[in-house]
Structure 1
Amino acid sequence: MSRKRLQQLTESLLRSARKEVERLIKLFNTLAAESRERFAAAAGLDRNMFRNILHCTFGMMDDMIMDRVFRAFDKDNDSCISVVEWVEGLSVFLRGTLEEKIKYCFEVYDLNGDGYISRDEMFHMLKNSLLKQPSEEDPDEGIKDLVEITLKKMDYDHDGKLSFLDFEKAVREENLLLEAFGPCLPDIKKTVSVFFCFFFFFAFFFHGYL
């Protein structure tokens, strides 16, 4: 590829990225204004508005996971998503590299923020994300067995918990393990049509149909 063609391609990509960021900022400003009116939030998106977006636009159902996604976006821990956190968070959420998504998912699954995913954390997340079978006398035993199977697969240093290095190595060997403890990323179809979904989210939510 010639230098001129490469420069043209670079400029085109930069224009496209700039327009996308501008759309995200415009979207944020609309949502932030609505958040202030409906939920008496300060500046930005509060937890209630953000959870509505995760549920209505991306189909998330698990309360624990939605709260953890909120915390992953809320880098300064002020209980409000700023415009910078919104743009940076969605960049990883929708278009992140595998490395970025591994870091994000690990942060979501590390419930107490100690740098490890413990047996108890795995149990709570898997218990929330798996459907109970009516015939099971003690479904908790099945979850405990699943936790042990997961540790055998992902706990490379055999210390009874998952470090970031354990999680990263397991995901790089098998990408499906990225969301091993519950869906915290949008599926491909929702990623492609996210702005289309947002449009209908506004149309219905703001007019009281949800």
Structure 2
Amino acid sequence: GTASVCNTLTNTLITKSEVECLIKLYDTLVAKASRQFAGAGFDRTVFRDTLYSYFGMTDDMVLDRVFIIFDKDNTGRITVEEWVEGLAPLLRGTLEEKMKYCFAIYDLNGDGYISKKEMFEMLKHSLLIQPGDEEPDEVVKDLVDIALKKMDYDRDGKLSFTDFEKAVRDESLLLEAFGPCLPDLKSTMSFEQKIFREIPKK
């Protein structure tokens, strides 16, 4: 229930009443999505539609990764706890929390490194390559090389979290170097105004 969700989130910046608002939104979305699964949480489709409609997130590959990160128990459905815990770093996360979240999204096989192959996969999906472009794969390969030159501090040909963190602290734009996985500020603010507006100001 609300209490247990609140307890797990005491270390983040979301207040108890905001958690309640997120739970209310969750219940509404689940009810709208399907009557028969109301208890089980919502599936990938509802999740993607929600992230699209509230945060304008459209990148299919990124949305799939975000779903996997939220779905901690790997059931293919997002429970209310997973929903609130997943949204917390997106809405209010510190830079550290956002770095961990982005890194996890880009680390496709979960081995603790972002490899050249993973960078290539992510960039290939997130770049808008025009059909007429010469050798789109070459463009992506060049970008991967540039990224490695800039971010691979220990020069082992892949990015550890330490590499990633150092690079982002030097240049904050690199946080989403391999695909847009955070909602932009405008979307986040309008989400908060819409969803948290019922909270009486302290």
More displaced, 40-49 or 110-119? 40-49
Q: CA deviation at 1:133?
A: 3.6
State the partner residue of 1:138. Answer: 135
State the partner residue of 1:56. Answer: 53
Whether 1:77 and 2:94 are equivalent positions in the alignment is: no
> Letter of the aligned partner of 2:45 in structure 1?
N
Q: CA deviation at 1:23?
A: 0.7
State the partner residue of 1:27. Answer: 25
- Does the aligned pair in 1 maintain the 2:33–2:42 contact within 8 Å? yes
Provide the alpha-carbon RMSD of the alignment: 1.9
Deviations, residues 11-33 of structure 1 (Å, cap 9, x unaligned)? xxxxx822211111111111122
Deviations, residues 118-138 of structure 1 (Å, cap 9, x unaligned)? 111111111111122455321
Q: CA deviation at 1:89?
A: 1.0
Give unmatched runs, 5+ long, in structure 2.
Answer: 1-13, 197-202
Identity fraction in percent: 66
CA distance in 2, matches of 1:198, 1:130: 31
Deviations, residues 132-153 of structure 1 (Å, cap 9, x unaligned)? 2455321111110110010000
Deviations, residues 23-51 of structure 1 (Å, cap 9, x unaligned)? 1111111112223338x576112111001
Whether 1:88 and 2:85 are equivalent positions in the alignment is: yes
TM-score w.r.t. the length of structure 1 is 0.81
Give unmatched runs, 5+ long, in structure 1.
Answer: 1-15, 200-210
> Letter of the aligned partner of 1:47 in structure 2?
R
3-state secondary structure, aligned to 1:37? coil
> Letter of the aligned partner of 2:16 in structure 1?
R
Count of matched residue positions in the alignment of Structure 1 and Structure 2: 183
Deviations, residues 88-115 of structure 1 (Å, cap 9, x unaligned)? 1111111100000000000011111111
State the partner residue of 1:46. Answer: 43
State the partner residue of 1:115. Answer: 112
State the partner residue of 1:182. Answer: 179
Which contiguous aligned blocks of 4+ residues in structure 1 show a shift greater than 3 angstroms?
195-199
